[in-house]
Structures are given as C-alpha cells and as structure tokens.
A and B are shown apart, each in its own frame.
Chain A
Amino acid sequence: MNNPTIRNWLGFSTLALMLASLFMVFDYVPPDAEMGIAQLIFYFHVPLAWVAFASFGLVAIAGIFYLWLGDQLWDDLGYAAAETGMVFCTLMIVAGSIWAKPIWGTWWTWDSRLTMTFILWLMYGGYLMLRASADDTPQVARFGAVIGIVAALDVPIVIVSVRMWRTIHPAVLVTKQGTHGLEDPRMIWTLMVCLAAFTALWAWLLMLRFTQLRTRSRMGRLSSRIAFATAAASDPK
C-alpha cells in the first residue's frame, strides 16, 4: 500500500470520477418524479453508506488478524479504516438528515435503520476516542480490535433493518419485493459512477492514512532503539 505511483494514480482517478459523478448528478440524471431535486442527494448518500460499511468491515477483518497474529500492521490498518469509516459514516448521516427534512418534514426520527446507524456511529466514535486518549500499547490495540469487531456486527443489522422491521426509510436498492426502485437506466448509471468515485476516494484516503500510521509505528520503534543506544553509550558499565 506504500507505493507513491499507485497513490498518485488513485488520487487522479478519484478526481476524475468525482467530476464525472457531479456532471451526471447535476446534468445527466432525471430527478425523481415524487421527491424532486432533493432526491439527487441519494446519489452521494448511498455511496457514502457503502464506503462507511466497507471501512467498518475492514476494521473487523484487521481486528481478527491482529488478535490472531499480533502484527502491528493489522492494528494500523484497522485504525486507518476506522478513521476513514467514521468520516464517511458521519457524512452519510448528515446527508441523509438533509434529505429527510424536505421529504419527511424532520431532520431526524428514531426509525430502526437510523437508530442502528446512530449506534454504529457511537461505537466507532468510542473506538476512536480510545485510540486518541490512550498510548499505543499492545493492550490498547487489543481493546481496539475487540471493539472494532463487536461494532462491525451492527453493519449487517443496519443493512437488513429496512426489510426486517417496519420503517419509513426507503429500500431503494433492494425493495421488499426483491426489485430495485430505480426505474430509469440513467439513475442506475449515475449511481454506479458515484459508487466508483467514492470507492476510489475511500481507497485513496485509506492508503494515505495507513501509510502514515505505518511510518509512525516504525518511527516509534526506531526512537526506542535510539534512546536505548544513547543510554548505553552514555553509561558503558
């Protein structure tokens, strides 16, 4: 993941895909007949949800590998994924809330999907607070891994909540009848491009942050060795 060429290529791809997605949202796709222009928020809301859930899934996978192998690499990957996932999860909630105001008439309601998403956000908020407030010790990393795995169990619950319980949140991608609610092919294409744009953005940000955390871990180990060597040189006995 520490390859500048791949990182730069991913950065430029993200920029190109973002510009394409903005063009498609504002110029190409027709607005929904019922919801009007506010429905266009959906084209960023769904990709934000996708990358947030993918991030949290990655936190759980990295946590399992860290508990199993004890390699610092997995802890750094989990931390980077939790941080980027939290950014996208926060944006997903904010975008959904802004969409809800004109459509539902309220910024927030304690609907099953919204409540489960809020719980997910709180759990990963707790994970990041733990990591920010404590030193980077193996014990903190183990706690973090366990929290990351337990919190990720909420992701499938959020996904299936619209089909399991009575909810006012629309099930657009897979409805209760097993179909999707995007009647125009242009809507599907726009959603696909937006999904690609946010996936590229997520991969780019994750790569940047993961590389930084790897560097920080290596520098921490190097600093300890220099301190040890300095102490040994000062006291040769």
Chain B
Amino acid sequence: MGAHFGYLFAAYSIIFIVIFLYVMFIWRRQAALDAELRTLEARMAALAERSAAGGPTEPQSEA
C-alpha cells in the first residue's frame, strides 16, 4: 500500500463512524418518541375512563 494509507484509512473510518453515530442518534430519538407515545396512550385511556364514569374527577397533570 502507498505512503498515504493512513490518510485514506482515517477518511473512510471517520465517514463510517459519523454515519453510524447519526443512525444511533435517530434510533435514540425513536426510543424517546415511543416513550412519549406510551404516555399519550395512558392519558387517553385515563380520559376515556373518566368519560365512561360519567363526569369530572380530579384534574390530571400534564405529564
């Protein structure tokens, strides 16, 4: 291999590492979205339960 192999290796390594990190970032954002979705589902279920019970109860927090 040539004298500049180190540069070549560095360039290709950085490209793949950054792309991998970006994919990980997207993955973590997806996990956060899933958690938020579960919270929304729980709030909707609580709201539906209160509607079925036939009236207002204690005000719910906005968590």
Contacts and interface: CB of A to CB of B under 8 A. Distances in A.
Contacts of B4: 36-38, 102
Interface in B12-59: 12, 14-15, 18-19, 22-23, 26, 29-30, 33, 36-37, 40, 43-44, 47, 50-51, 55-59
Contacts of B50: 233
B11 A98 contact: yes
A226 interface: yes
18 contacts: A36-B4, A48-B15, A90-B18, A91-B14, A94-B11, A94-B18, A98-B11, A205-B26, A208-B26, A209-B26, A212-B26, A212-B30, A219-B40, A230-B43, A230-B59, A231-B59, A233-B47, A235-B59
Contact of B7 (A101, A216, A226, A227): A101
B47 A98 contact: no
A207 to B, nearest CB: 10
Interface size class of B (residues with CB under 8 A): 35 or more
A120 B37 CA distance: 36
Chief secondary structure at chain B's binding surface:
helix
A36 B5 CA distance: 10
B7 A235 contact: no
A201 B19 contact: yes
Contact of B15 (A36, A95, A101): A95
A44 B14 CA distance: 12
A225 to B, nearest CB: 10
A43 B62 CA distance: 52
Given A102-B4, A230-B47, A95 B14 contact: yes
Contact of B5 (A37, A209, A227, A235): A37
Given A95-B11, A99-B11, A219-B40, 17 more contacts: A36-B2, A37-B3, A37-B5, A37-B8, A91-B14, A91-B15, A98-B14, A205-B23, A208-B26, A212-B29, A215-B33, A230-B59, A231-B59, A234-B56, A234-B58, A235-B56, A236-B56
B55 A236 contact: yes
Interface string A210-237: 0010011001001100110111011110
A209 B12 CA distance: 24
B18 A91 contact: yes
